[in-house]
Amino acid sequence: MLRIKGISVLALVAVAAASFGQAALADTAGKRIALSNNYAGNSWRQAMLRSWEKVTSAAVADGTVAAADAFTTAENQVTEQAAQIQNLILQGYDAIVINAASPEGLNGAVKEACDAGVTVVSFDGIVTEPCAWRIAVNFKQMGKDEVLYLADKLPDGGNLLEIRGLAGVFVDDEISAGIHEGVAETGKFTIVGSVNGNWAQDVAQKAVAGILPSLPDIVGVVTQGGDGYGAAQAIKAAGRDMPVIVMGNRQDELQWWKEQKDANGYETMSVSIAPGVSTLAFWVAQQVLDGADVPKDLTVPFLRIDQGNLEENLATTEAGGVANVEYSLEDAKTVISGAM
């Protein structure tokens, strides 16, 4: 066991955990928390909102907080979400949990909230304003891992098609940066085309169908989630050989993968952030309101599905949904303690 000046690391962790537990002394029963969401046009966002409703409604029912209302803007526009946040400040919410349209574009509204005494916790699409808390996976590593997987599976390399998400959003930029870093480091692949799929199956299918006629043969498709099944349908319709398409944990993708696996041994992997990260953000906001000492930056692991555990993950993913993990208060305390 690693020891520091005669004290075991486990002992230090135990002391830190005990101190964390003692720090939460305030009463949040009268506190109101709002969710500001910039977009709901795909299965991941819908699953995220369902997870929020499921977990927060129970927290309201048992008296942990007074309210946990969700608000989604009609369009993925920074100005619209900034106005929404300003309205939530005026409505007197004690905390605002944000899935942001832009990492920098909302900083003015976020600073207004902080200056008004409102706790702000961003997740998935995080903000850079220092007064806010941030919860994210390492999206850049997620993108890089896609390429590393393909490099192992396709040692001869080849041409790749990249399907990106919503333009201008932090998540899209980070995953794409990781993909390009992986391509540069492995030296095996060339990205011969790139389209925006907006993390939605129908948008991705149309975008891929539009670019395929201009592309040479491709051996792989790197994605961001919600786009794998649409890509497969477009490639099939074009009569092309099916490349290795990295999936994004959506049920339609997993079902298609299972069918191809059973039919011809098709192999790939699937990776995404769990939609239930919204519930972690809720509990982090509750803990800040409760007086806990919470680090401003928290990282959670992404959820990866491989050939060997495809069936068990598919079995627990609802039709039209996304493979998911939802967080409890104790889970949140564990994540916070681990970051201390």
Q: Does 310 map to a domain?
A: no
Contacts of 337 (CB under 8 A, 6+ apart): 13, 16, 17, 20
How many Å apart are CA 185 and CA 180, to the nearest integer? Answer: 9
Residue 311 lies in a domain: no
CA-wise closest residue to 291 among 95, 160, 146: 95
Task: Tell whether the model's pLDDT for residue 3 goes beyond 70.
Answer: no
**% of the chain residues with pLDDT over 70:** 92
Do 130 and 44 fall into the same domain?
Answer: yes
Specify whether 191 is located in the same domain as 76: no
Verify that 17 and 132 share a domain, yes or no. yes
Q: Given a cut of 90, is residue 107 above it in pLDDT?
A: yes
Give the pLDDT confidence score for residue 132 in this predicted structure. Answer: 98
Instruction: Identify the pLDDT of residue 26.
Output: 61
The pTM assigned to this predicted structure is 0.82
Crossing angle for the helix pair 228-237 and 201-211, to the nearest 10 degrees? 40
Lowest mean pLDDT among 17-21, 230-234, 335-339: 17-21
Q: What is the mean pLDDT of residues 62-88?
A: 96
19-23, 194-198, 299-303, 310-314: least confident range:
19-23
Instruction: Give residue 12's pLDDT.
Output: 33
Which residue, 233, 257, 272, sits at the end of a domain?
272
Q: Are residues 252 and 291 in the same domain?
A: no
The residue range of the domain holding 61 is 3-137+274-303+322-339
Q: In this model, does residue 194 exceed pLDDT 50?
A: yes
Per-residue pLDDT reduced to its tens digit, 233-266: 999 999 999 999 999 999 999 999 999 999 999 9
H or E segment and range at residue 222: strand 220-222
The pLDDT of residue 136:
87
At residue 17 the predicted structure's pLDDT band, cuts being 50, 70 and 90, is very low
* pLDDT at residue 94, rounded to an integer: 98
Q: What is the pLDDT of residue 5?
A: 35
pLDDT the model gives residue 198:
93
- N-term to C-term CA, the chain: 20
Mean pLDDT of the chain: 91
- Looking at the fold, whether 126 and 163 belong to one and the same domain comes out as no
The CATH number of the domain holding residue 235 is 3.40.50.2300
Tokens representing 112? Answer: 């207004």
pLDDT for res 165:
94
Quickly state the pLDDT bin for 170 (edges 50, 70, 90). confident
Residue that wins the pLDDT comparison between 192 and 9: 192
Task: Please give the full DSSP string across 113-149, using - where no structure is assigned.
Answer: HHHTT-EEEEESS----TTSEEEE--HHHHHHHHHHH
pLDDT (average), residues 277-293:
97
CB 146 within 8 A of CB 183: no
Q: Are residues 57 and 120 in the same domain?
A: yes
Q: How many domains does the chain have?
A: 2
**Residues 257, 196: one domain?**
yes
Pick from 249, 281, 299, 332: which is nearest to 49 by CA?
281
CB count within 10 Å of CB 300 equals 20
Q: What is the model's pLDDT at position 76?
A: 83
CA dist 157 → 86, 197, 243, 268, 299 (Å): 50, 24, 12, 15, 32
Q: What is the pLDDT of residue 257?
A: 98
